[in-house]
Structure 1
Amino acid sequence: MPDSRPVVLIPSYNTGPILPATVAAALAQGVPVRVVIDGSTDGSPDLLEPLLANPLLKVTRLAKNAGKGSAVLHGTRDALAEGFTHVLCMDADGQHPAEMIPDYFGLSHRHPEAAVFGRPVFDASAPALRVNGRKVSNFWANLETMGWGIDDSLFGMRLYPAAGLVEVFESTSFARRFDFDPEVAVRLAWRGVPILNLPTPVRYLSREEGGVSQFRYLRDNTLLTWMHTRLFFGFLVRLPWLALRGENPLLSLSPPRK
């Protein structure tokens, strides 16, 4: 069974002053952190300069904005080249709790064959539209994988086996923007990668707290609709094999939903 040597990967696009706070919180866990600046134009990458003295941190700047998925792909390839085996993706906007990093890494060390998906635990800061709207994507993702165990198809705090993630990217020209999280989840499940779900608090920061969002309701929901249409037809092609292969071997290890 392969070992696990994980690294935190933070893609960022125009995240503003919340970016260094997010990176500093991850570094405080004493783990290696890689940041991929996806063509930011707001000056936020310069705010990381004081943190670069920490040898655990490396920052890569992409010249043009290409989307979250593209930034994650770039960072994952670099992580593999450095000898890391797993990447823990975290959003740069402060939504994901850095104190949960040891929990993700611990599960990966115990089950290096698995992907560890965050199951969001929302508080009062979560917009009802976002909380309820994701149920549609979750329904389709579980249909397309015959209940493989994707508790949340859109939550961005996830730990992936790096080589398997790159293989998924190389199997499709999609999953480069907002469609990244749900599409790679479905495609990993199609490949039989075991999935563990880890309940994880999520907080939506207010504008006064420095919160930012790149989500655009019409644009991104149109992208998700097209994505699930494509994936549904891919599911139909794979249906005989998916029906015969059995369930996610680690399904019973995920905590039950409340």
Structure 2
Amino acid sequence: MSHDLPVIVVDDGSIDGTSEQLADLPIMLLRNEPNAGKAAALWRGMQASMDLSVDGVITLDGDGQHRPEDIPRLIKAAQGHTKNIIIGSRLHDREVIPRRRYYANRFANFWIAWASGMPMEDSQSGFRLYPIELLADLSIGTSRDRGFVFESEIIIEAGWRGIAVYNIKIPAIYGADLRPIHFQSVTDILRITRMVGGRLISRRMYLPGLYRSIVKPKLD
């Protein structure tokens, strides 16, 4: 399905011939050698997009969990919620999601909601549309150990800048025929929690954020 959008593919040091298979397609192909990790791959693609005079950047993971045919839904949501991050939310599909993964995501939601000051539906979804203004002056670490921390920290940074998150529901896609998922429920959630803890401490536990994200929605 064609969406008439510029496409950037970041081949993060793969050894399965990915770059060769994509060589003749009308895309911008970037390759990290050696593998630099998810955060660095995302950031390299985001930086490349800034040279294309676009209004926003849509990210999709390479494991087959995100459907390109849902891209127009993100764009439509962004047209009605300009300047927001649009996130494809999956946790409504609870029965499809592996139990351990589901509860790890819910745990992460709590902490990222508190630190950002915004309610969270699916803070770990990588299917997002970012406004280009947010990315233009972003400064977040992209080392290998921050692979899944990076996306969580962007949400917190956005919340601190007054940039909201808007969610749209997308299917939760899991199956044996998909590429292996590199998210490690315990290790990556601990890394995210450490990052969030540092952010909260820097703002003296940011109690207004806890109220706006957790308490107030339950009172409304």
Q: Same fold (TM over 0.5)?
A: yes
Residues 147-200 of structure 1: CA distance to partner in whole angstroms, max 9, x if unpaired? Answer: x233221111111012312423x1x33584121221111111111112211111
RMSD in angstroms over aligned alpha carbons?
2.6
The higher-RCO structure (CA 8 Å, 6+ apart) is: 2
Aligned to 1:33: 7
Asked if 1:126 is matched to 2:73, the reply is no
Contact preservation (8 Å) 1:66, 1:177: no
Q: Say how many residue pairs are matched.
A: 211
Asked if 1:114 is matched to 2:72, the reply is no
Aligned to 2:154: 184
Q: Which SS does the other structure have where 2:78 is aligned?
A: helix
Q: What one-letter code is carried by the residue in structure 1 that aligns with 2:18? A: S
Superposition pairs of residues 31-110 of structure 1, within 5 angstroms: 31-50=5-24, 52=25, 55=26, 57-110=27-80
Q: Which SS does the other structure have where 1:32 is aligned?
A: coil
Contact preservation (8 Å) 2:58, 2:128: yes
Residues 204-254 of structure 1: CA distance to partner in whole angstroms, max 9, x if unpaired? Answer: 121xx24321123443233223222212213427657x69xx979xxx9xx
Percent of aligned pairs sharing the same letter: 28
**Equivalent in 84, 107, 114 of residue 136 of structure 1:** 107
Unaligned runs of 5+ in 2: none
Aligned to 1:203: 173
Contact preservation (8 Å) 2:11, 2:29: yes
Structure 1 pair 247–222 and aligned structure 2 pair: CA distance change class (3 A): closer
Contact preservation (8 Å) 1:40, 1:65: yes
Counterparts of 1:60 and 1:232, CA distance in 2 = 35
Structure 1 pair 165–132 and aligned structure 2 pair: CA distance change class (3 A): same
Counterparts of 2:206 and 2:55, CA distance in 1 = 28
Residues 85-124 of structure 1: CA distance to partner in whole angstroms, max 9, x if unpaired? Answer: 2101111111012221001011223333111112114364
Structure 1 pair 202–92 and aligned structure 2 pair: CA distance change class (3 A): same
Q: Which SS does the other structure have where 2:167 is aligned?
A: strand
Aligned to 1:160: 130
Structure 1 pair 239–218 and aligned structure 2 pair: CA distance change class (3 A): closer
Aligned to 2:195: 227
Unaligned runs of 5+ in 1: 1-26, 253-258
Structure 1 pair 225–145 and aligned structure 2 pair: CA distance change class (3 A): closer
Counterparts of 1:234 and 1:42, CA distance in 2 = 43
Q: Which SS does the other structure have where 2:121 is aligned?
A: coil
Runs of 4+ displaced beyond 4 Å: 237-240
Q: Which SS does the other structure have where 1:92 is aligned?
A: coil
Structure 1 pair 109–138 and aligned structure 2 pair: CA distance change class (3 A): same
Counterparts of 1:122 and 1:211, CA distance in 2 = 20
Counterparts of 2:100 and 2:28, CA distance in 1 = 36
Counterparts of 1:163 and 1:100, CA distance in 2 = 23
Offset, 1:71: 1.3
TM-score (normalizing by structure 1): 0.72
